[in-house]
């Protein structure tokens, strides 16, 4: 028995030793690795890029727009319902425009011994209803921004249908998966410097949107899709900052320099007061800004200088040219928060004055040229036209600046956490000098000039004009980051011409006949319906 017990214990010990050896050879489960780490240095939504000390945040939105009463989407047009096919208001223009858009932004930040290095990119992918341009001719062509297929009916118009492909609105891909790619912002920030494409330092923080979705408000600047710049911002603490910036004017801040020697009576009716003699850019716009941003609200003062550099009086160098003339603009902006009408309610207002720098008032998405048709009780139809370039001149003269002033603002009220409404408005006025008025209307506006000599029925001649706008928007946010909105906007063109005209040749507007037209003010009413999901 003793021998048997000894053999049993020995065998058990041997088995345990072998099992231990085998266990030592088995793989050991590794400790979990945190591949994505939250970065709390710069607020919610930032994560460390694996293997680096750089934090990244992804964001954006997906949006669907339906705009009623316009041939162009608010974010793409130049003057809603006020020029060309838009202004004709006949059967050869779209009455609605649809758009789907995905926005993607990438924000990276890295802490260094010199401060935070930041990069920011914001790109958009869009698909938009084709912009219809028709001729109205029985043998002509009507088209949606390009060509996909052609259908011909004897005795009718020829139509090229391609929707969102081929044209300036959206690229080409057989019109099945095309669209457009846009870059809103792409900049680097380091040690107070901003280098790249960003909102102008001149703009108010709300750019074109004191409380609205409507892009085309006058009464202030608004580079909503960014402008190339090299800027420095100094932070003095307590919400006080100041910035100086050199900004590229060529994309959004040149309203034109017109040689009025080329104006004709017919071209004036199309808001073309001469040929645009803009020369190459010689200087960036110089911008200065001071801002106080605290719990009570915000105050900002901005100034800008704009070089008007024109080409020659004629087609060749020996014809000579006017000297450069600097224009300027000044803007004040005020935001009042925590007002007693409700939590989160806010009032945003701004005012601007320009002299030879029109785009700081009639901003790019609003435009500054109008040619709008309507009805009349005394003529075939009515027509309102106006234009505000930066400067004008005639052969042998110097440049004369166009002066403008305006304001815009909004009051936003939150009914509850899910609903809010904003009431907004804008106004801008353009004023011409003696040279322009004499060229167009004769000395003292008493007759003569391009218009007076071209149209005997004109009883009042003055190129000064004003734009007034009023709107209301209501937003519903049933769940976080999903908002539905309806924005209704009315625009009024207050032009200073009166009488009737019978042009020998009409401006190239689809299907408008050579007839008698009454000169009078015009109105436009548009609605933007939007669904947007932010992420």
Burial class from Cβ neighbours inside 10 Å (0-12, 13-18, 19+) for residue 45 reads: middle
Residues 379-388 have pLDDT tens digits of: 999 999 999 9
For the chain, which residues make up each domain, given as ranges?
Answer: 191-534
User: In terms of C-beta distances under 8 Å and separation of at least 24 residues, what long-range contacts does 110-117 make, across chains too?
Assistant: 110/52, 110/53, 110/54, 110/55, 111/41, 111/53, 114/190, 114/191, 115/190, 115/191, 115/192, 116/42, 116/189, 116/190, 117/188, 117/189, 117/190
Instruction: Please tell me the distance from the alpha carbon of residue 463 to that of residue 400, in angstroms, as a whole number.
Output: 14
527 vs 274: CA distance, rounded Å: 33
Q: Which residue has the tokens 């009086």?
A: 313
Strand positions, DSSP E, 317-432: 325-336, 346-355, 369-374, 381-387, 391-393, 400-401, 403-414, 419-431
- Name the pTM for this structure: 0.85
Local structure of 86: helix, strand or coil: helix
User: Cβ neighbours of residue 49 under 8 Å, at least 6 residues apart?
Assistant: 55, 56, 108
Asked if residue 9 has pLDDT above 60, the reply is: no
Range in 278-282, 333-337, 450-454, 495-499 the model is least confident about: 450-454
Pairing of β 158-161 and β 180-190? unpaired
pLDDT at 70 over 80: no
Beta bridge partners of 310: 278
Give the pair of three-digit tokens for residue 475: 């937003």
- Other beta carbons within 10 angstroms of residue 23's beta carbon come to 8
For the record, the structure tokens of 427 come out as 């106004």
DSSP readout, 257-294? EEEGGG--HHHHHTT--SEE-B----SPEEEEEEEEEE
> What does DSSP say about strands 115-128 and 141-144: parallel, antiparallel, or unpaired?
unpaired
Q: How far is CA 100 from CA 67, 171, 216, in A?
A: 12, 14, 19
Mean pLDDT rounded to a whole number for the chain: 85
**401 alpha-carbon distance from chain centroid:** 24
The sign one gets for the Cα dihedral 500, 505, 510, 511 is positive
**Cα–Cα distance for residue pair 382/416, rounded to 1 Å:** 45
pLDDT digit string, tens, across residues 133-180: 665 554 444 445 433 333 333 333 333 333 333 334 444 344 445 678
SS3 (DSSP) at 83: coil
Round to whole Å and give the CA distance between 150 and 164: 15
Considering only 89-103, 150-164, 198-212, 268-282, which range has the smallest mean pLDDT? 150-164
Would you state the CATH architecture of domain 191-534? Beta Barrel (2.40)
pLDDT for 3: 45
23: confidence class by pLDDT, cuts 50, 70, 90: very low
N- to C-terminal Cα distance for the chain? 79
Distance CA 120, CA 257 (A): 35
pLDDT band at 448 (very low <50, low <70, confident <90, very high): confident
Residue 14's Cβ-count burial label (10 Å; 0-12, 13-18, 19+) is: exposed
Strand partners for 349: 334, 409
- The dihedrals phi and psi of 293, each to the nearest 5 degrees, come to -125, 105
């Amino acid at each position: 028995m003793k021998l048997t017990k000894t053999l049993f214990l020995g065998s058990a010990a041997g088995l345990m030793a072998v099992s231990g050896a085998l266990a030592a050879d088995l793989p050991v489960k590794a400790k979990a690795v945190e591949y994505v780490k939250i970065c709390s240095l710069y607020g919610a939504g930032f994560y460390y890029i694996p293997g680096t000390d750089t934090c990244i945040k992804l964001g954006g939105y997906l949006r669907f727009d339906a705009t009623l009463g316009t041939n162009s989407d608010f974010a793409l047009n130049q003057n809603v319902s006020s020029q060309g096919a838009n202004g004709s208001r006949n059967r050869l223009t779209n009455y609605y425009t649809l758009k789907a858009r995905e926005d993607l932004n990438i924000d990276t930040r890295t802490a260094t011994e010199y401060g935070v290095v930041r990069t920011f990119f914001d790109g958009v992918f869009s698909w938009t209803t084709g912009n219809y341009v028709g001729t109205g001719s029985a043998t002509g062509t009507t088209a949606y921004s390009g060509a996909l297929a052609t259908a011909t009916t004897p005795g009718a118009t020829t139509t090229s249908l391609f929707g969102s492909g081929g044209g300036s609105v959206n690229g080409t891909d057989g019109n099945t998966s095309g669209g457009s790619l846009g870059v809103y912002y792409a900049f680097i920030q380091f040690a107070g410097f901003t280098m790249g494409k960003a909102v102008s330092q001149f703009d108010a923080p709300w750019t074109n949107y004191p409380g609205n979705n409507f892009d085309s408000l006058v009464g202030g600047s608004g580079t909503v899709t960014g402008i190339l710049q090299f800027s420095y911002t100094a932070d003095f603490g307590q919400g006080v900052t100041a910035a100086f910036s050199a900004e590229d004017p060529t994309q959004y801040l040149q309203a034109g320099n017109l040689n009025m020697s080329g104006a004709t009576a017919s071209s004036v009716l199309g808001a073309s007061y001469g040929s645009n003699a803009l020369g190459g850019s010689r200087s960036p716009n110089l911008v200065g800004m001071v801002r106080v941003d605290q719990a009570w609200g915000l105050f900002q003062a901005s100034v800008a200088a704009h070089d008007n550099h024109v080409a020659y009086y004629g087609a060749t160098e020996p014809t000579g040219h006017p000297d450069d003339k600097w224009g300027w603009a000044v803007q004040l902006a005020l935001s009042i928060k925590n007002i007693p009408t409700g939590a989160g309610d806010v009032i945003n207002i701004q005012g601007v004055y320009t002299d030879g720098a029109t785009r700081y008032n009639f901003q790019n998405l609003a435009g500054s040229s109008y040619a709008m048709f309507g009805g009349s009780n005394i003529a075939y139809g009515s027509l309102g036209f106006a234009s505000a370039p930066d400067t004008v001149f005639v052969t042998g003269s110097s440049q004369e600046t166009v002066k403008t002033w305006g304001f815009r603002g909004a009051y936003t009220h939150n009914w509850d956490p899910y609903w809010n409404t904003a009431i907004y408005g804008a106004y801008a006025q353009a004023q011409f000098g003696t040279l322009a008025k004499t060229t167009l209307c004769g000395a003292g506006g008493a007759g003569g000039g391009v218009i007076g000599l071209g149209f005997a029925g004109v009883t009042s001649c003055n190129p000064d004009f004003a734009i007034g706008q009023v709107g209301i928007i209501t937003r519903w946010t049933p769940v976080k980051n999903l908002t539905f909105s309806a924005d209704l906007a009315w625009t009024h063109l207050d032009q200073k011409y009166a009488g009737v005209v019978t042009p020998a040749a009409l401006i190239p507007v689809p299907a408008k006949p050579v007839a008698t037209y009454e000169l009078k003010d015009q109105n436009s009413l548009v609605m933007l319906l939007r669904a947007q999901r932010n992420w």
